Structure 1
């Protein structure tokens, strides 16, 4: 009997998740630079906005978000009406 808990018999693909606190160097472990992220992001932003949906970008690193919004070549902040929400919690 197969259930969601018992995955025997399923050929599942492997996924590695790298986690850690801000500033520990997680981004350096990927081949995705901030420039690559921005180029891919603008393509998906346009695709999503064409569907008349509200786009929500949730980032794990402000480095990538800042690059996307502030890059003068992309002109992101001039093309889109952005609302920034800062999440802050006590440790």
Structure 2
């Protein structure tokens, strides 16, 4: 099964919304969500602290300014198979 990497942190309302959006798309696409708390890894913290949530699908990253229903659906559609 394909893996979608989700960079997040605790107490982040944007992260909660993005995670809910990914959950909706799991009904139509084959993937599992790998949550990565940026505060558990110095490299992630340095890379993503200003842009979380970040969704990574087969190397394509969407940051907090790019995440919306259409962009996530388009990226999933291009990179993953539908159920």
Q: What's the TM-score bracket when you normalise by the shorter of the two chains?
A: under 0.3
Report which structure shows greater RCO (CA 8 Å, sep ≥6). Answer: 2
Bigger radius of gyration among the two: 1
- After TM superposition, the score normalised by the length of structure 1 is 0.26
Question: Which has the larger share of helix?
Answer: 2
